[in-house]
């Protein structure tokens, strides 16, 4: 009996290790991309270009311990001896190893250059900097050496304006649909009027309609109304596209609130408006919060709607648009891209980790979309 228990325990331990091991590997895989971006955003431009971000971890690499002058008057095919090894220029260019395990490498060309003697050591490349963020947020200039030796100075990028635009778009585009949806949900749940059922079926039907369908007609309306490129235009568009889900979610919640509370308020002579603002809204905070997070992340991360309704108006450009255009125009400037991407993720990540509980609840309730 005891032995049986012991083997069951051992089996449990093994399966626990396997289970947690598999989970750890998956988590590492999932976290690695973001970690790489985060680490890179603090590395200097030169470091990013010279080595992968994982080189900030301790690793073994050749480190120069001594520098020698190149032998003079050597021809390309001539065999020379340096630090105990012999070889031609081309061989030394690629690096030759001597008996002590040192690597001898010829840096530069045949006439002008130097010899470096390197040893394999544990090392890290960990000189971190905040200058990427200064360059991408405040448009600070940076300079670098071109391959031909000349120095190039380039203006960074100004994401501060785009960040503020994103705030100005995302906050109202989150609150307005919630407010409108909450009024509607209350109306559907607690008021009687003709067409109530028909209108709510319309809400359900519109849940899955792709927003692409609306872009063309709405853009035409905006052109006629001269609304293009204004904040109002984007808010209304996000409101329209977010409203079916918002109304549906809030209806489910508000219609489930205890009937007694409302009826006693009615008997006390409270109007619908008072009941809604004083009673229903405070009671619905969990549902409002879940949808708010949902909508905020959606609007903040949106690219398509902003691209179409803000379009060419540079002053109103939001973060995703600015970032996408940096990707297009200077896709090799990884120090700007990584820092910029991280700035764009900052607010959503704070909201996400701060209010994860509500977000999950919203997802669970609204997974029909």
Partner 1 sequence: MQNTSRASTPERILTLLTSTIGQVLISVLVPLLTFVVLWRGFLFLRDSNAPKSIIALVAIIWGVGGVGLLYLIANWIVEQLPDKWTARLQPFVFVGPAVAILIWYLALPAFRTFWISLWNRNGTAFVFLQNYLDVFRDRGMLESFRNNLLWMIVGTTFSVGFGLLIAVLADRSKFERIAKSIIFMPMAISFVGAGIIWKFIYENRPPGEAQIGLLNAVVTALGGQPQAWVSLVQPWNNLFLIVIVVWLQTGFAMVLFSAALKGIPAELLEASRVDGANEFQVFFRIMVPYIQGTIITVTTTIVIFTLKIFDVVMVMTGAQYGTEVIATQFYRQYFSNRNFGYGSAIAIILLIAVIPVMIYNLREFREKEAF
Contacting partner 1 within 272-291 (CB under 8 A) = 272-274, 276
Interacting residues of 96 by C-beta distance below 8 A, sequence separation 6+: 85, 87, 103, 104, 105
Of the candidates 117, 184, 249, 310, which one interacts with partner 1 according to CB under 8 A? 184
Q: Per rule CB under 8 A, is residue 61 in the interface with partner 1?
A: no
Burial class (CB in 10 A: 0-12, 13-18, 19+), 244: buried
Instruction: Give the nearest distance from C-beta 27 to partner 1 in angstroms.
Output: 5
Q: Which pair of structure tokens corresponds to residue 123? A: 């090392």
What is the helix (H) or strand (E) element at residue 213, kind and residue range?
A: helix 212-225
Tell which phi-psi region holds residue 194, choosing left (phi > 0), alpha (psi between -120 and 50) or beta: beta
- Piece in contact with partner 1 (CB under 8 A), picked from 3-11, 73-81, 96-104, 182-190: 182-190
What is the helix (H) or strand (E) element at residue 266, kind and residue range?
A: helix 259-267
Size of the site for partner 1 (CB under 8 A): 116
Residues 71-100 that bind partner 1 (CB under 8 A): none
Residues 203-222 that bind partner 1 (CB under 8 A): 203-218, 221
Burial code of 37-49, b = ≥16 C-beta within 10 A, e = fewer?
bbbbbbbbbebbe
Q: Which of residues 37 and 257 has its CB atom nearest to partner 1 in the complex? A: 37
Of the candidates 230, 257, 281, 283, which one interacts with partner 1 according to CB under 8 A? 230
Residues 324-343 that bind partner 1 (CB under 8 A): 324, 327-328, 331, 334, 337-338, 340-341
User: How remote is the C-alpha of 150 from its chain's centroid?
Assistant: 35
Pattern 108-127, partner 1, x by CB under 8 A: --------------------
Residues 3-42 that bind partner 1 (CB under 8 A): 19-20, 22-23, 26-27, 30-34, 36-37, 40
């Amino acid at each position: 009996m005891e032995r049986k228990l012991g083997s069951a325990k051992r089996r449990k331990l093994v399966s626990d290790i396997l289970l947690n091991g598999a989970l750890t590997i998956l988590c590492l895989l999932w976290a690695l991309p973001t970690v790489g971006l985060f680490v890179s955003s603090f590395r200097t431009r030169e470091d990013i270009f010279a080595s992968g971000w994982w080189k900030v971890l301790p690793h073994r690499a050749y480190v120069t311990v001594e520098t020698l002058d190149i032998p003079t008057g050597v021809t390309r095919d001539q065999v020379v001896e340096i630090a105990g090894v012999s070889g031609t220029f081309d061989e030394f260019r690629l690096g030759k190893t001597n008996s002590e395990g040192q690597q001898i490498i010829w840096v530069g060309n045949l006439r002008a250059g130097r010899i470096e003697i390197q040893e394999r050591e544990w090392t890290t490349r960990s000189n971190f900097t905040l200058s990427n963020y200064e360059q991408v947020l405040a448009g600070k200039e940076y300079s670098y050496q071109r391959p031909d030796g000349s120095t190039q100075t380039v203006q960074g990028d100004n994401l501060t304006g785009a960040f503020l635009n994103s705030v100005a778009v995302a906050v109202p585009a989150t609150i307005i649909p919630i407010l409108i949806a909450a009024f509607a949900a209350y109306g559907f749940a607690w008021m009687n009027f003709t067409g109530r059922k028909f209108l709510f079926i319309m809400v359900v039907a519109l849940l899955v309609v792709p927003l692409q369908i609306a872009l063309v007609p709405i853009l035409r309306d905006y052109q006629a109304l001269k609304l293009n490129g204004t904040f109002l235009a984007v808010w209304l568009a996000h409101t329209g596209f977010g409203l079916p889900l918002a109304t549906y979610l809030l209806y489910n919640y508000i219609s489930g609130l205890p009937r007694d509370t409302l009826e006693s308020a009615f008997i006390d002579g409270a109007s619908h408006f008072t009941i809604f603002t004083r009673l229903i809204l405070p009671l619905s905070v969990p549902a409002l919060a879940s949808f708010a997070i949902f909508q905020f992340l959606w609007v903040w991360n949106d690219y398509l709607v902003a691209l179409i309704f803000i379009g060419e108006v540079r002053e109103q450009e939001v973060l995703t648009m600015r970032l996408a255009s940096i990707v297009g125009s200077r896709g090799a400037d990884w120090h700007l891209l990584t820092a910029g991407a991280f700035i764009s993720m900052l607010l959503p990540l704070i909201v996400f980790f701060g209010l994860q509980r509500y977000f999950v609840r919203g997802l669970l309730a609204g997974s029909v979309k």
